[in-house]
């Protein structure tokens, strides 16, 4: 799709020289063939450094756009970006793609579905009722148990184990909301990448990125019924216990342990080697390493123990 | 089944004129061809207004039954209703029903199972390992990702997206318990109805109603690993974030936002445009609109923030 | 595999008379053809009573081993046990096993996969996209809804109902961690046994035991999105409400009720007829019966109510 067409879809004026636009991306990550957007004045600083071909923007911020970058002025940039995202969404399946490639020594159930364009490595075991989407690549020696769904464009490394009924690459929870309270889906055109030696439990959900990649680094262990939001990054050798969750764009350093039913807010950075007790609620980034935290609001575990003593005294 | 047979199954005496009974229902909703029950004396007022053909009832409450309505007297009405519910449960699949109808332009994977009696609208995408039950109707332009199960008798509107491994229409969590602590299943003979433009994440579970309908209104967005109990009603444009849950029969007004891991008790009514922060625990109905709440027990968010300051002081 | 081979895999010295080893097990449960391990000096007392063929052990504890039992001395017994566990793990599927047996009157979807060596009882209903693993045995009159996965070697009793997208027998969350923070999978070579008349909701996960059996006794009711960790034991007629969880090796007595989003720590014993309110967090064993508890930390429900009054006063 070219830039003139992009402008036309969102009802923005554009009279410059048009060229091919390959996708949408953030202010920071957009390349010179991508379109970006600003929905919040706190990102003003990032506008002038963007390499994007064009920025979908509110009239009031237009002057911050750097030279050589087009301004696509609209009333609600976030809503317009949502409208546009659909046009950059690839088809769910694509019959034109070549048949899936299956590596030597792999055992794939005839009741699994490996979509056109997918690649399975060597010595894998893919059980019945698994779905592997278009262009998804699975490494060697990986085991995928029944009823797992991996959406298109994801990568799963060598020596991974994915347990039954888990979903990898479903759409992140993204939408714009207008003044009437109506929602418009933001198509999630990124993917999920899982490195080597990762084990994931059953009925866990790992959402694809809106742009870019939701990343699970090597050696991480994820239990059952865990939620990983879009654009999260989980470091090496992390542990997420059952029913824990990460909201979107949160990053865990290596060897972080999330206890059962614990959860984080979105957009946090958690330093390596921290442990969160069961049901911790983490709402701020953590810069120190090697500590144990509990509670909601979160505090160091030893403080939480003291607090419980004080609360018990209240009852006397 | 006729009324004499109904009485016989639960061991109640009945000598009146028998006629066809089509199902079970609540005191308020039962029609003149349905049987109802009273298991709790707090519903005495509703007994006299019921239109039911018969009421399964404890001896002590028998006198409240209106004229023209039969009393089926038993020791444990709730248990008897459970026993009876099985007899009104349709078969899971029915080979006598006509082959499923698939609308023009729809792409249905040969590895999906569309049960006899189901109807799929136009331009839908139904991926591998999906199950659509008997008599279930899916609207136009709807996308159902792999490994989704929709039980029989449900309806899904136009322009919906259902992500992988989600279950729609599984049985609500209903049973009677006797004095020995044994449980008897209450068959859930209602359904789920999902209106247009609803998106539901992966591994979410939406239970069918015991009687009537579990209803999700148009434009609502539900994330991954969310629980919606039987007979809930979710208004237009609501948002339920990952790992949140609604217990049975709770109603959300339009544009209610349930934060991550938040939950409600059953049988509540929540006014429109309220927001519940992550991990809120809602145990009472809320009549005011447009507020933000937090905590468990629940309070207004600004009070919760003040409380955290007070608690922090305890530690000094 | 014989004992010499076992020693060689973990790099332990062994010069005794070798014989066939059939598996790994705990100090207490190991038979004279099994190997066990000690990873913690608090189990010293159990060492002298073990019937195991050999104990994987740290040098410092070697002297506690009883006569007739071999010591396999290594630096990190838990890690060595993890390494060894893989060798005792059976293949996921086994084409040499006889075709599955299906009992009279059972209806099995041609789109279900019943692995070789499995047995389905009489009058069962097994819907599309179900997976039943090798050597798994399902009793009579049991209904298994679409997209359920049951791993190998499990047993499901008569008159059970398993709802869609649930997983039974996936691997427990077990691994050893070395000083570098790297994890090594402990293969879960036990199973899950579900007795008669158990109903399990949708997207629930019940993990197989590391050794022995995860056991769900008769008449229990489990809701949607519930987690049951490896080696748990759930008594007769228990109730687990949606989004609740049990960490590994916890035992519930009969008629225990776990409210929505409640959870226990691991290795607890909960006496019969106790009720835990929604979101209770249980971290200690409970010996009294018939009480109602709430909160996290846990307390009797009436105390929790009083605490909320005190906390409300803090705000004035």
Interface test with B, best of C124, C260, C297 (most B CBs within 10 A): C260
* Contacting residues of A for B255, CB less than 8 Å apart: 181
E strand residue ranges, B44-94: 54-57, 70-73
Q: Over chain A (316 residues), what is each successive 10-residue block's mean pLDDT?
A: 96 94 96 94 90 96 94 97 98 97 98 98 98 98 98 98 98 97 98 98 98 98 98 98 98 98 98 98 98 97 93 83
Q: How far is residue A231's CA from residue A207's CA, in Å, rounded to a whole number?
A: 8
Give the integer Cα–Cα distance in Å for C191 and B298.
41
Q: What angle do CA B61, B64, B69 make, to 5 degrees?
A: 110
pLDDT at res. B40: 84
The answer, yes or no, to whether residue B139 has pLDDT greater than 80, is yes
pLDDT average, residue stretch C58-77: 95
Residues of C in contact with A314 (CB under 8 A): 307, 310-311
* CA-based nearest distance A202→chain C, Å: 7
For residue B225, give the nearest of A151, A227, A307 by CB distance. A227
pLDDT recorded at residue C311:
87
Q: Tell me the mean pLDDT in the region B72-101.
A: 97
Quote the pLDDT of residue C95.
95
Predicted pLDDT at C159: 98
107-126 of B, contacting C, C-beta below 8 A: 111, 113
Strand order in the sheet with A257-258: A107-108, A125-126, A143-144, A161-162, A199-200, A221-222, A239-240, A257-258, A275-276, A292-294, A299-300
Among C42, C75, C46, C70, CA closest to C58: C75
Residue numbers in C near A165 (CB within 8 A): 147, 149, 165-167, 203, 205
Which residue among C170, C175, C303 places its CB closest to the CB of A202? Answer: C170
Q: Is the pLDDT score of C316 beyond 80?
A: no
Confidence check: pLDDT of C32 > 80: yes
Pairwise CA distance, residues B53 & B34, whole Å: 6
pTM over 0.95: yes
Has domain C101-303 been given CATH number 3.20.20.60? no
Residue in A229, A236, A234, A235 with CA at minimum distance from that of residue A208: A229
Whether B272 shows a pLDDT value over 80: the answer reads: yes
Across the interface, whether the CB atoms of A263 and B279 are under 8 A apart is answered yes
| Rounded mean pLDDT, C277-296 | 98
Interface contact flag, B315 A296, Cβ < 8 Å: no
**In DSSP terms, which residues pair with A156 in a beta bridge?**
A138, A194
Give, in order, the Cα–Cα distances in Å from A36 to each of A22, A26, A29, A54, A65.
11, 6, 9, 6, 11
Question: How close does chain A come to C170, measured CA to CA in Å?
Answer: 7
Cβ-nearest to C237 among B129, B182, B263: B182
Which residues of A are less than 8 Å from C230 in CB distance?
none
Please name the member of A113, A171, A203 whose beta carbon is closest to the beta carbon of B165: A203
Helix (H) or strand (E) holding B221: strand B221-222
Query: How confident is the model over C225-272, as pLDDT tens digits?
Result: 999 999 999 999 999 999 999 999 999 999 999 999 999 999 999 999
What pLDDT score was predicted for residue B311? 87
A281–C contact, CB cutoff 8 A? no
Would you tell me which residues 117-176 of chain B have a C-beta closer than 8 angstroms to some C-beta of chain A? 125, 127-129, 143, 145-147, 161, 163-165
Domain ranges of chain C: 3-88, 101-303
Q: Are A202 and A180 in contact (CB under 8 A)?
A: no
Tokens representing residue C87 in the block: 């060798």
Q: Write a three-state SS string for chain A.
A: CEHHHHHHHCCCCCCCCCCECCEECCCCCCCCCEEEECCCHHHHHHHCCCCCCEEEECHHHHHHCCCCCEEEECCCHHHHHHHHHHHHCCCCCCCCCCCCEECCCCEECCCCEECCCCEECCCCEECCCCEECCCCEECCCCEECCCCEECCCCEECCCCEECCCCEEEECCCCEEECCCCCEEECCCCCEEEECCCCEECCCCEEECCCCCEEEECCCCEECCCCEECCCCEECCCCEECCCCEECCCCEECCCCEECCCCEECCCCEECCCCEECCCCEECCCECCCCCEEECCCCEEHHHHHHHHHHHHHHCC
| DSSP-assigned letter for residue B71 | E
Query: Are A109 and C113 inside 8 Å of each other by CB?
Result: yes
The Cα–Cα gap between B269 and C228 comes to: 32
Fold of A3-88: 3.40.1390
Chain B residue closest to A225 (CA)?
B225
Phi and psi at B279, nearest 5°, equal 65, 15
- Tens digit of each residue's pLDDT (9 = 90 or more) over B190-248: 999 999 999 999 999 999 999 999 999 999 999 999 999 999 999 999 999 999 999 99
Distance from CA of A151 to the nearest CA of B (A): 9
Pairs across A and C, CB distance < 8 A: 127
Determine the Cα–Cα distance for residues A273 and A237; give it in Å rounded to an integer.
Answer: 10
- For residue A308, which residues of chain C lie inside 8 Å, CB to CB? 297
Tell whether A249 lies on the interface with B, counting CB pairs under 8 A.
no
Q: Give me the pLDDT at residue B313, please.
A: 86
Residue B42 confidence (pLDDT): 87
Q: How many CB atoms lie within 10 A of CB B299?
A: 18
ipTM above 0.90, yes or no: yes
> Quick one: closest CA in A to B159, which residue?
A185
Beta carbons of B242 and A227 less than 8 Å apart: yes
Tell me what pLDDT residue B314 has. 81
Confidence (pLDDT) at A41: 84
Q: How far is B195 from chain A (nearest CA, A)?
A: 14
Chain A positions touching B128 (Cβ under 8 A) are: 113, 129, 131
Which member of C163, C230, C267, C301 is catalytic? C230
Per the document, the length of chain C is: 316
Nearest to A315 among C148, C203, C310 (CB): C310
- Among A126, A130, A128, A99, smallest CA distance to A115 is for A99
pLDDT confidence band for C315 (50 / 70 / 90): confident
Beta strands at B299-300 and B292-294: parallel, antiparallel or unpaired: antiparallel
CA dist., res. A83 & res. A89, Å (int): 11
pLDDT digits (tens, 9 = 90+) for C82-124: 999 999 999 999 999 999 999 999 999 999 999 999 999 999 9
pLDDT score recorded for residue C69: 95
Rounded-to-integer distance, Cα C108 and Cα B299, Å:
51
Q: pLDDT band at residue B125, thresholds of 50, 70 and 90?
A: very high
Q: Are A231 and A190 in contact (CB under 8 A)?
A: yes
Interchain pair B131, C164: CB under 8 A: yes
Active-site hit among A64, A129, A163, A230: A230
**CB-CB neighbors (< 8 A) of A149 in chain C:** none
Say yes or no for a CB contact (<8 Å) between A129 and C151: no
**Contact criterion met (CB below 8 Å) for B293 and B277:** yes
**Residues of B catalogued as catalytic:** 230
Q: Which of A111, A243, A314 sits opposite C310 (nearest CB)?
A: A314
Question: Which residue from C minimizes the CA distance to B225?
Answer: C225
**How far A138 CA sits from the closest chain B CA (Å)?**
18
> Does B181 contact C at CB distance below 8 Å?
yes
Neighbours of C121 (CB within 10 A): 20
List the single residue in A with minimal CA-CA distance to C91: A125
Tell me if C273 sits within 8 A of C254, measured CB to CB: yes
Contacts of C146 in chain B (CB under 8 A): 113, 131, 149
- What is the bridge-based pairing of β-strands A227-228 and A205-207? parallel
- Report chain A residues whose CB lies below 8 A from the CB of B224: 167, 170, 173, 205, 207, 227
Return the residue of C nearest to B165 by Cα: C165
For A142, list phi and psi in degrees, rounded to 5: -90, 140
């Amino acid at each position: 799709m070219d830039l003139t067409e992009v402008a036309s879809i969102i009802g923005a004026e554009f009279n410059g020289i048009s060229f091919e636009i390959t996708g949408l991306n953030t202010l920071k990550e957009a390349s010179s063939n991508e379109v970006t957007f600003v929905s919040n004045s706190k990102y003003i600083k990032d506008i002038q450094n963007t390499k994007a071909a064009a920025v979908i923007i509110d009239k009031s911020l237009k002057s911050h756009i750097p030279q050589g970058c087009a301004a696509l002025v609209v009333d609600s940039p976030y809503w317009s970006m949502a409208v546009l995202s659909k046009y950059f969404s690839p088809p769910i399946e694509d019959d034109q793609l070549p048949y899936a490639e299956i590596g030597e020594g792999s055992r794939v159930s005839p009741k699994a579905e490996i979509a056109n364009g997918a690649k399975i490595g060597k010595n894998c075991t893919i059980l019945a009722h698994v779905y592997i989407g278009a262009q998804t690549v699975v490494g060697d020696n990986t085991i995928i148990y029944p009823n797992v769904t991996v959406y298109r464009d994801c990568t799963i490394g060598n020596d991974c184990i994915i347990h039954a009924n888990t979903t990898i690459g479903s759409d992140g929870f993204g939408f714009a909301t207008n003044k009437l309270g109506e929602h418009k889906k933001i198509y999630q055109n990124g993917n999920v990448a899982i490195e080597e030696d990762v084990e994931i439990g059953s009925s866990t959900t790992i959402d694809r990125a809106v742009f870019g990649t939701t990343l699970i680094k090597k050696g991480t262990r994820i239990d059952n019924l865990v939620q990983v939001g879009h654009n999260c990054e989980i470091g090496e050798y992390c542990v997420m216990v059952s029913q824990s969750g990460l909201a979107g764009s949160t990053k865990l350093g290596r060897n972080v342990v999330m206890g059962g039913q614990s959860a984080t807010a979105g957009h946090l950075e958690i330093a390596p080697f921290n442990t969160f007790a069961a049901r911790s609620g983490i709402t701020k980034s953590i810069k120190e390493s090697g500590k144990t935290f509990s509670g909601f609001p979160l505090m160091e575990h030893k403080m939480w123990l003291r607090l419980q003593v004080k609360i018990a005294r209240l009852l006397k």
